[in-house]
């Protein structure tokens, strides 16, 4: 066990846990942030995606010890932003949500992509979201939604 | 279990000197290999030393004819850096996914020593050197002598991979290809790297390697040396002979990802395509 401090959704937090605990479990069980989903548990599906220092990562394979001093944003924290509102509206308008299990991860990966590349092409969106699986097969709508968000949110990213 | 997050390189090297630790950098391989049920700790058999926050090992620079890459540079950081050799960038672009590339490190891909590690065929072709440090010494080893077999490497228990050193070279033609079940996140069924220098239609340098077709990456200096000095036209007219020569050393296995016949056929086809495009 060791004390680990980090910023979680804009709040300083400190917990005492094993440094090899999965960040995913800590977020869900210790902090109740259940928007972070467990899909495959091995970094292949992106359902557990969160932002660490503004970059998308898979929280199911992040050992807690590595997040010391880092800034973590989950879908719950991101949902309070203007950028989220635009992404959310675009996902709704394009029909990019079916069962919704992959959606938090898709939104987080979209945010990470748009941070680096505010006006991505379809191909760049597909690459940006390539680590996220949707088993309702809604990829075309998701790509359209990200494209639409990048236009509507022009200047935000 | 004594799992520790190191804060400085010196602290990490002292811990390695005094105890038995498995070094964990990005964790994208080790956390998967040791995963357990949800909401339980990964089942590591050894004490874990987490090193991903060591700022001393996050750098890339150019000095004395080499590109020096700190072992904790992530794949995504390297993919975007102007000093990263272009052939390595080609491999990084199709490795894993954005989320994995943001965590996974170049040192980790080497330390995992998987026959299918996608940076490895490129590092073999680039004559990369691996720098190992302990509290007492620093060693520099060519990558093909560092990796001994699947998961096996020439690494003492008190040592850590601290740097990858790549001689600067200007190739006229180079290519990395991987074949996998999915574009992102797939472990390669076969991978291929080629780098060639051609001047006035003469081949001045010729380097080929294959991944996932044997216990380690396959590169054959003796075949390469016979080709160096010949013309591009001669190389193309002798292509069948060259494919046959490589065929002897491309000996893949059947496993859950693919089978040996498919792997061999594809590996040789990738070489053929590379030569025909010169």
Contact yes or no for A57 and B102 at CB 8 A: yes
Most B-contacting residue of A63, A115, A134 (CB-CB within 10 A), to test interface = A63
Taking the C-alpha atoms of residue B91 and residue B122, their distance in angstroms, rounded to an integer, is 7
How much of chain B, in percent, has pLDDT values that exceed 90?
A: 94
Q: Which residues of B touch A23 (CB under 8 A)?
A: none
> Both B124 and B213 in a single domain?
no
- Range(s) of the domain holding residue A98: 78-152
Q: What does pLDDT average to over chain A?
A: 97
**By the CB < 8 Å criterion, does B8 face chain A?**
no
Cα distance from B1 to chain A (closest Cα, Å)? 9
**By the CB < 8 Å criterion, does B242 face chain A?**
no
| Sheet arrangement for strand B190-199 | B173-179, B190-199, B202-211
Q: Which residues of B touch A52 (CB under 8 A)?
A: 102
> Both B163 and B177 in a single domain?
no
Q: Which residue has the tokens 């991978």?
A: B191
Decide if A6 contacts A67 (C-beta within 8 A).
yes
pLDDT band at residue B159 using 50, 70 and 90 as cut-offs: very high
**By the CB < 8 Å criterion, does A109 face chain B?**
yes
**Would A157 be classed as within a structural domain?**
no
pLDDT tens per residue across span B15-43 = 999 999 999 999 999 999 999 999 999 99
> Both B107 and B154 in a single domain?
yes
> Both B223 and B124 in a single domain?
no
Phi then psi for residue B202, to 5 deg, are -105, 140
Mean pLDDT of the region B226-254 = 96
pLDDT tens per residue across span A57-84 = 999 999 999 999 999 999 999 999 999 9
Q: How far is CA B187 from the centre of its chain?
A: 13
Decide if B143 contacts B125 (C-beta within 8 A).
no
> Both A148 and A108 in a single domain?
yes
Q: Does the pLDDT value for residue B182 go beyond 90?
A: no
ipTM of the complex: 0.96
> Both A86 and A107 in a single domain?
yes
Q: Which residues of chain A have pLDDT under 50?
A: none
Q: What does pLDDT average to over chain B?
A: 96
- Out of B112, B146, B167, a domain closes at B167
Alpha helices of B39-81 — where are they, by DSSP H?
Answer: 75-79
User: How many domains does chain B divide into?
Assistant: 2
> Both B96 and B162 in a single domain?
yes
- Range(s) of the domain holding residue B51: 4-167
């Amino acid at each position: 066990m060791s004390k680990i401090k980090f910023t979680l959704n804009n709040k300083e937090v400190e917990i005492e846990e094993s440094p090899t605990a999965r960040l995913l479990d800590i977020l869900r069980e210790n902090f109740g942030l259940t928007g972070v989903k467990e899909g495959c548990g091995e970094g292949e599906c992106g359902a557990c995606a969160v932002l660490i220092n503004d970059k998308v990562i898979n929280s199911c394979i992040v050992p807690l010890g590595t997040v010391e001093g880092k800034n973590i944003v989950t879908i719950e924290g991101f949902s309070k932003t203007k950028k989220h509102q635009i992404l959310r509206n675009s996902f709704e308008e394009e029909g990019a949500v079916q069962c919704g299990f992959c959606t938090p991860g898709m939104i987080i990966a979209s945010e990470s992509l748009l941070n680096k590349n505010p006006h991505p092409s379809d191909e760049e969106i597909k690459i940006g979201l390539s680590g996220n699986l949707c088993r309702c097969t809604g990829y075309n709508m998701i790509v359209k939604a990200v494209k639409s968000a990048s236009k509507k949110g022009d200047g935000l990213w | 279990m004594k799992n520790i997050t190191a804060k400085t390189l010196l602290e990490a090297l002292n811990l390695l000197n005094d105890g038995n630790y498995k070094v964990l950098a990005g964790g994208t391989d080790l956390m998967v290999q040791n995963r357990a049920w949800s909401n339980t700790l990964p089942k590591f058999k050894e004490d874990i030393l987490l090193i991903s926050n060591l700022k001393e090992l996050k750098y890339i620079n150019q000095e004395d004819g080499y590109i020096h890459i700190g072992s904790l540079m992530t794949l995504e950081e390297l993919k975007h850096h102007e000093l990263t050799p272009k052939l390595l960038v080609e491999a990084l672009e199709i490795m894993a996914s954005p989320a994995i590339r943001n965590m996974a490190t170049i040192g980790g891909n080497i330390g995992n020593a998987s026959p299918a590690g996608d940076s490895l065929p490129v590092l073999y072709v680039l004559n990369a050197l691996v720098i190992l440090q302990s509290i007492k010494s620093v060693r520099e080893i060519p990558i093909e002598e560092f990796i001994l077999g699947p998961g096996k490497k020439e690494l003492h228990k008190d040592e850590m991979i601290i740097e990858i050193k790549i001689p600067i070279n200007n190739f006229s033609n180079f290519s990395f290809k991987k074949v996998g079940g999915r574009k992102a996140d797939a472990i390669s069924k076969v991978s291929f790297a080629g780098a060639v220098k051609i001047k006035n239609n003469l081949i001045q340098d010729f380097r080929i390697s294959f991944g996932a077709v044997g216990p380690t990456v396959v590169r054959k200096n003796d075949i390469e040396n016979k080709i160096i000095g010949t013309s591009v036209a001669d190389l193309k007219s002798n292509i069948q002979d060259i494919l046959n020569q490589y065929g002897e050393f491309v000996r893949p296995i059947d496993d859950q990802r693919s089978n040996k016949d498919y792997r061999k056929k594809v590996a040789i086809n990738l070489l053929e395509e590379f030569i025909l495009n010169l």
